[in-house]
Structure 1
Amino acid sequence: MTIDVANRYLSLHSLTTFAHVLLVRDDAGEPKTSPHGDAERVNLSPQCKRRAGRMYMRDEANLGTGPLASHAWGVRTREWALRVAEALRDEHGWEPQAALEMARTSLRGVGLNFGSTPNTAFLTKVMIFAPEKTGTTLAKIIQEHRVELETWAAAVSAAAVAAAEAKTKGKKKGKDTRVPPTDVAAEFGEDGGPETEGEATGGDEKVAPMPARIKARLICGLAPADAIDIALYGRFLAEVAGAGNVDGAIQTATTFSVEPASIVRDFFSSADDFKITRQRLGTDFTDALARLNAVAPFNTEEPQAPNEYALDDRGAGMTGHQNFFSGTFYAHSVLDRIQLRRNLTNGGMSRENAERAAQDAELALVAAFVNAVPSAKKNTTAAPGTLPKLVLAHSGPRPYNYAAVFEKAIHRHEGVPSLIAAERLLEHHAMITRKHQVEAGAVLSYDIATINYLDALRDAGNLGPTEVDHTAQLSPYCPAGQPA
C-alpha cells in the first residue's frame, strides 16, 4: 500500500492529569522543570516517555496480546559480548574464557570499544541497539570462521603485548593498562559497573584490521533487520561504519504541565519493625530498677555499662524528604508513516510484509501513547494506572505540534485546568483543520467531565473529530469490526 503524502504524518496529542507523582527526576533527584510561556512548568523528558512506550509495546507483545506479538524486537544493552560468548559456549561448545575473549576481540574488530576496568572489560562503552537474536547470529558467524579468527586474534594479542612492553621500556615506571581476565567475566557475570555510556580510553589496545569479508558479515549481523522497535525509534551507531544507522519514524516532544509547576516537598518517616514491637510491649521497669539498685548511690566512679546494647525506642526508624508534583500534562508524538515503511523494507522485509508490520506498529504505538506511563515511584504513587483525559489523533502532510496553545499557563482560579486545556486544544485543532484543509481525526476520552464537554460540542455541531471508544479506532488501520 502506498501512503498518500497528504496523510504521511500521524499527530498524537494527549492531556493527562497526574496527582502526587514523581515520574522522572534530574541528577539531583528533583522533578524536572523549565520555563514555557509565562510560567515555570514541570517536564517529563522525551527519553522517559519513549522508553515507557517501547516497553509497553514489548510487554504487550510478550504476553501475546498486542498487535506486535508476532514481530521481532531489538535490545539496547552494553552486554553484547557476553551474549555472543554465551552463544559460543552453549551452542558451539567453546570454553567460557576463550568464548569471552573471542567475542570481545571480534566486536572490537568491527569498531566497538570496551571499558577499561575489570567490571567493564567485556561491556561496550555505549549501549548498542540491535535485534534480540544478535548474540546467536554473531556467534554463528564466528564459529564458521573460527580458525581464521583465532589466527587473527592471536596476532592482535601479540601486538598488544609488544606494545605494552615497548611502553614499559620507554617509561621505567610505566603502567601496563591491559585488562586481565576476571572471575566475574569468566562466569558471564551481570555486574556491569557504573551505568555510564563513556569510559576512559586507557585500556583500549590498537586492534589489527579484521579480515574484510568476516568484518562485513559481522556488521550485517548487527544490522537492524526486522526489529520492529528499531524501525520505529531509530538507531545511531557512530562507532561502526556501515552498521545500518536508522532514522527513527517517531518524533517525541517534551511533555509539560499546562499549569505552573506545582511541586510539594513531602516529609516521610519509616518505621523500624523491631523498635515498634518494643514500643508495643512497653518498658520493663523492673529490670531498669534492678540496674539502678546495683550501683552505689554515692559512688563517684562512672558506673559500668550494662552488657546488653542500649536501644533507643523513641521516634521513627528513618525520616527524609521527597519532592512530588501534580497537574495536567500535554504530551505530543508524531509517526512518519513513510519513514517507518522505508525502515522496514531497508531491513529486508518484502513490501507486503512491511505494510502489514507498519500497520501493526501504528496500532501498537497509538495504544502505547494512550496507556504507557513512566514507572518511576510506581509502588508509592500507582501512576501507571492513570489514563488520559483527552487523546486527539489526526493525519496530515506535516506534523502538528500544539504546545503553543499552552503558552499562557492555566491557573486553578480560572476553573478545572484539564477542562480548560481540552477546550483550548480542540479550538486550536478546529482552526488548524480549517486553515490547512486536513482531516479532523478522532478523539478519545476517559473522563466524564470531558466526555460531557464533547457531547455539548457535538450537539452544537462544533465537534470536528470523531469521538471513539477504543485506542485502535484512533488509527485508520483499526481492524474490521470492534477491536479485541
Structure 2
Amino acid sequence: MNRYLNLHKLLTVNSVLLVRDADGRPKETPFGTARRTMLSPQTQRRADRTHMRDQANTGRGPLADYAFGCRTREWARLTAAALKSQHKWKEEEAALTARTALQGLNISFGTKGSTADLTKVMIFAPESAATQLAAALNEHAEAVRAWMSDVASARTRQEESKKNKSKGKKKAAAAEEEQPAAAEEAAQDAEAAESKELPALPAELRKKMLLALAPADAIDIALFGRFLAEVNHSPNVDGALQNMPAITVGRAAGTEDFFSAADDAKLARQRATPPADLSTLDFLEAIDPFPADGSSGDHQGAGMTGYQHFVSGTFYAHAVLDRYQLRVNLRRAGMEADKAEQAARAAEAAYMDAFCNAVPEAKKTTTAAPGTLPKLVLAHSSDRQHNYVTCFEDAINENTTVASIEATRRLLNQHALISRKCALEPGAVLTYDLAITELLDELRAAGRLQPREVDRPDQLTDATADVAAVPA
C-alpha cells in the first residue's frame, strides 16, 4: 500500500447553513477569482467522527467492536458519578475528590459557579476514562483521603499567604522609602508562598489516572489525534487525517431568509367563538389590536420575526489519510502488530463510509442537509498528498453552466494530469447522481475515464478488501 490515501469530494447543497461565523453568518474565504463559501475543517471532522461512532454504537460497520473516545469538559462530573454509582461514595465527597484529583494532574477548571467542575478545555480521552479514573480513586481510597487532607491544609496555607501578601504590599508601600531592603524581602517571601503547588498525587494513583486518560485503543483518537498540553506525561497523538477547508467551486451564493413564527395561544384566542352573552361587535372590540384606551391590545402580528442565512453551491472537499501514522498511533496505544493492522484497515473502511455519507447537521430539521449524498468522490493512493483545489481557482460561472458537472470535468482532468506527471494509480470514483453517471458513461465511451467506477464506499480502495462492507 502507498502511504497516503487521497480523497476528493464534490457535494452540492441547497439552502443550508452547515457552519456559521461569530455573527451567525455563513463562513467565507477569498480564493482565486471570487469569494467562496467555506466549511471549516473542524465542522467536517466532527461530522465524520460522530458518523463513525454512531455506526459503531449501533453495531454497524467495521468498527462495531472497537472503542471510541469522548471529547468533553465533564470528566470530573463523569468520574464523580462513577464513584457514586459503582463504588457507593457519597455524592459530595465524590465530586470534590474527582475534581481535586484531576487538578493534581495539572488540569485547570473554571472559576465561576457554573463551571467550577468543568475543565477549562475539552479533554479527548477514551469513553471508559471516567470509569477507570473512579476505579483508581476507589482502589487507593485510603491514600486519596490522606492526600485530600494534605490538599486542604495546603490550600488553607495558601489563603493565609494571599492575605499576608495583601497586607505585605501595604506595609511595603509604606516602608519602601525608609527601609527598601525590608520591603524587597517581604515581597520575595509573599511570591514564594504564592508559588507553592498542591501536594503531589500518590505515585501509583497518578500512574493509573494517566493510564485512564491515555489514548488506549480509542480508534477515533488514533485517526483524528489529540493535543493535551496541560497534563505532563500524558501522550499527545498526531492525527492520521488531514482536512482542507471545503470551498464552493463557484462564487459564494447566499440569501437572507425572513421568517415569522406564529403564536399558537394568540391565534387560538383570536379564532375562538364569541361567548353567548357577548355580541359579535363587542367580541371584535375585545380583541382590537388598537383599543381606544391605548393599551397594547391583542396584536394580529406574528409572535416572532427575524432573519436566517442560507447558502447554496457545490463544495470541493479534500482529505488525506496517513496510513503509516494511523498504524504508529495504534501501536503506541499498545496494540500488537497484527491487531493494529486489522484495526487500521477497519478504520480506513469506516472513514471511507463517513467521507461519503457524513454531512454536518447544523439546522438539520429545517434544511434536511444530512440527507445529501455527494455528487462525486474520487479516491487514489500515492506516496505523497495531492490536493486538487487549484483546478477551481477560476470560479465556475453558475449562470452559464451546471457547477457540479463542470467541477467533475475539471477534477477528473486534474487527476489525469497529475497521474500522468507523477505516475499515480488511477484510483476509483463513486457517484450518487444521475447526471454525473451519464457524464462518466460519456467519458468512458470516449476512453477518457481512467479511474474505475464503483458502487459502494468500501470499494474505493483495495486496502479495505478484506473488511466487511458497511451495512446500509
TM-score (ref. length: structure 2): 0.88
- Partner of residue 259 from structure 1, selected from 250, 253, 265: 250
Q: Which residue of 1 aligns with 2:227?
A: 236
Cα deviation for residue 280 of structure 1 reads: 3.8
SS at match of 1:327: strand
Aligned equivalents of 2:370 and 2:283: distance in 1?
Answer: 57
- Whether 2:459 is the aligned partner of 1:473: answer yes
Residue correspondence of structure 1 range 390-409 to structure 2 within 5 A: 390-409=376-395
SS at match of 2:387: coil
SS at match of 2:114: coil
- Partner of residue 415 from structure 1, selected from 401, 413, 418: 401
What amino acid is aligned across from residue 413 of structure 1 in structure 2? N
- Partner of residue 357 from structure 2, selected from 345, 349, 371: 371
- Whether 2:423 is the aligned partner of 1:426: answer no
Residue correspondence of structure 1 range 28-427 to structure 2 within 5 A: 28-171=23-166, 206-281=197-272, 286=279, 288-289=281-282, 311-427=297-413
SS at match of 1:398: coil
Instruction: Confirm or deny: 8 A CA contact 1:160 1:206 kept in the other structure.
Output: no
Cα deviation for residue 274 of structure 1 reads: 2.6
Cα deviation for residue 403 of structure 1 reads: 0.8
Instruction: Confirm or deny: 8 A CA contact 1:396 1:439 kept in the other structure.
Output: yes
| Structure 2: segments with no counterpart, 5+ residues | 170-193, 286-290
Cα deviation for residue 319 of structure 1 reads: 1.1
Instruction: Confirm or deny: 8 A CA contact 1:78 1:123 kept in the other structure.
Output: yes
SS at match of 2:462: coil
- When residues 123 and 38 of structure 1 are mapped into structure 2, their CA distance, relative to the original with a 3 A threshold, is same
SS at match of 2:399: helix
- When residues 458 and 215 of structure 1 are mapped into structure 2, their CA distance, relative to the original with a 3 A threshold, is same
Instruction: Confirm or deny: 8 A CA contact 1:442 1:474 kept in the other structure.
Output: yes
Aligned equivalents of 1:291 and 1:126: distance in 2?
Answer: 58
SS at match of 1:412: coil
Instruction: Confirm or deny: 8 A CA contact 2:345 2:467 kept in the other structure.
Output: no
Aligned equivalents of 1:125 and 1:264: distance in 2?
Answer: 37
- When residues 310 and 239 of structure 1 are mapped into structure 2, their CA distance, relative to the original with a 3 A threshold, is closer
Deviations 1:14-52 (A, max 9, x none): 001100001100010000001000100000110010000
What amino acid is aligned across from residue 129 of structure 2 in structure 1? T
Aligned equivalents of 1:480 and 1:103: distance in 2?
Answer: 44
SS at match of 2:362: coil
Cα deviation for residue 242 of structure 1 reads: 1.4
How many matched pairs?
439
Instruction: Confirm or deny: 8 A CA contact 1:249 1:339 kept in the other structure.
Output: yes
Aligned equivalents of 2:468 and 2:150: distance in 1?
Answer: 63
Cα deviation for residue 311 of structure 1 reads: 3.6
Instruction: Confirm or deny: 8 A CA contact 1:113 1:204 kept in the other structure.
Output: no
Instruction: Confirm or deny: 8 A CA contact 1:67 1:364 kept in the other structure.
Output: yes
What amino acid is aligned across from residue 216 of structure 1 in structure 2? K
- When residues 171 and 287 of structure 1 are mapped into structure 2, their CA distance, relative to the original with a 3 A threshold, is farther
Q: Root-mean-square deviation (CA), in Å?
A: 2.5
Cα deviation for residue 223 of structure 1 reads: 0.5
Deviations 1:385-443 (A, max 9, x none): 00001000000001111111100000123311110000000000001111111111000
Cα deviation for residue 364 of structure 1 reads: 0.5
Aligned equivalents of 2:94 and 2:466: distance in 1?
Answer: 51
Deviations 1:178-228 (A, max 9, x none): xxxxxxxxxxxxxxxxxxxxxxxxx99931222333322221221000000
Deviations 1:161-185 (A, max 9, x none): 12112323443699xxxxxxxxxxx
SS at match of 1:114: coil
Cα deviation for residue 75 of structure 1 reads: 0.2
Q: Percent identity?
A: 50
SS at match of 2:217: coil
- Whether 2:5 is the aligned partner of 1:10: answer yes
Cα deviation for residue 276 of structure 1 reads: 2.6
- Partner of residue 22 from structure 1, selected from 17, 21, 24: 17
User: Is the deviation greater in 389-398 or in 82-91?
Assistant: 82-91
TM-score (ref. length: structure 1): 0.86
Aligned equivalents of 2:460 and 2:302: distance in 1?
Answer: 51
Cα deviation for residue 481 of structure 1 reads: 10
Q: Which residue of 2 aligns with 1:178?
A: none
Instruction: Confirm or deny: 8 A CA contact 1:279 1:313 kept in the other structure.
Output: no
Q: Which residue of 2 aligns with 1:181?
A: none
Cα deviation for residue 97 of structure 1 reads: 1.0
SS at match of 1:368: helix
Cα deviation for residue 85 of structure 1 reads: 1.2
